[in-house]
Amino acid sequence: MTIHVLLADDHPMVRDGLRAILEREGFSVVAEASNGRQALELAEKLKPDVAVLDLSMPLLNGIDTAREIGRIVPATKTIMLTMHTERQFILEGLRAGTRGFVMKSHSAEELVQAIRETARGGTYFSPEVTLAAVEAYRNHGDLPADPLTPRERQVLQLIAESKTTKEIAALLEISVKTVETYRSRIMEKLGIHETAGVVRYAIRHGIVQP
């Protein structure tokens, strides 16, 4: 049975290379996305077996995209492509329901193996990721509860990406007043009083990349 895959990465050359490799291995790449929000829309529409997500994507990062896909299309398994092994990224990804972590520095065969494993209900993690996750839990490194709701995290990322209030409202299909309410609530929860502080928080917590 053919495995249907969605690819999401903001670099066209990366997507082209991955598509060629996956199609050669017999997978069906049903769609490509250049940002997390587009990936979410395509996953909801096409319901692929597996969504391969870059950790660092504009508009909606890979972790929050995985969380939303798990909520809206629970049958779709998510795999994270990353260069990062920091505990916060791994633990956040696990909390978001990601079934696999594959290092970008590894061979394409590892991604092929990860897709096959997750498609049949298993999990797959690159050795570095497994080690980092084990060390985090061994050192009681589980993350504290996120003070922000998923929607607030989405607004936070867009603020950190320098989107205007009107642009955020259009992207999330909500009113300008609602965006302003979210902005105030985010700053109040985080104890932050200026946009620069929001950006620093977003970078520190892996919501956007510097």
Domain-terminating residue out of 138, 163, 188: 138
Residues 34 and 104 reside in one and the same domain:
yes
Q: Do 121 and 168 reside in the same domain of the chain?
A: no
Task: Let me know whether 22 and 100 are in one domain.
Answer: yes
Where a domain ends, among 138, 167, 190? 138
Among 49, 45, 36, CA closest to 5: 49
Taking the C-alpha atoms of residue 114 and residue 119, their distance in angstroms, rounded to an integer, is 8
* CATH assignment at residue 105: 3.40.50.2300
Mean pLDDT, range 31-44, rounded to an integer: 98
pLDDT digit string, tens, across residues 182-192: 999 999 999 99
**Is residue 78 located within the same domain as residue 25?**
yes
| Residue 5 contacts residue 48 (beta carbons within 8 Å) | yes
Whether residue 114 is found in the same domain as residue 194:
no
Residue 210 inside a domain? The answer is: no
User: 22 and 77, same structural domain?
Assistant: yes
Q: What's the rounded mean pLDDT across residues 79-102?
A: 85
CATH number at residue 179: 1.10.10.10
Residue 93's pLDDT is: 86
Is the pLDDT at 48 greater than 90? The verdict is: yes
Please tell me whether residues 190 and 120 are part of one structural domain: no
Mean pLDDT of the chain: 91
CA distance 181 to 124: 40
- Classify residue 160: in a domain, yes or no: yes
Which residues form the domain of 170? Answer: 150-204
Give the model's pLDDT for residue 162: 94
* Pairing status of strand 100-103 against strand 124-125: parallel
Number of domains composing the chain:
2
23 plus 103 within the same structural domain = yes
Note whether 190 and 109 are same-domain residues: no
C-alpha closest to that of 187 among 176, 197, 200, 172: 197
Co-location of 44 and 119 in the same domain: yes
Query: Of 68-72, 138-142, 194-198, 201-205, where does the model show the most confidence?
Result: 68-72
Residues 18 and 91 in one domain: yes
- pLDDT(134) > 70: no
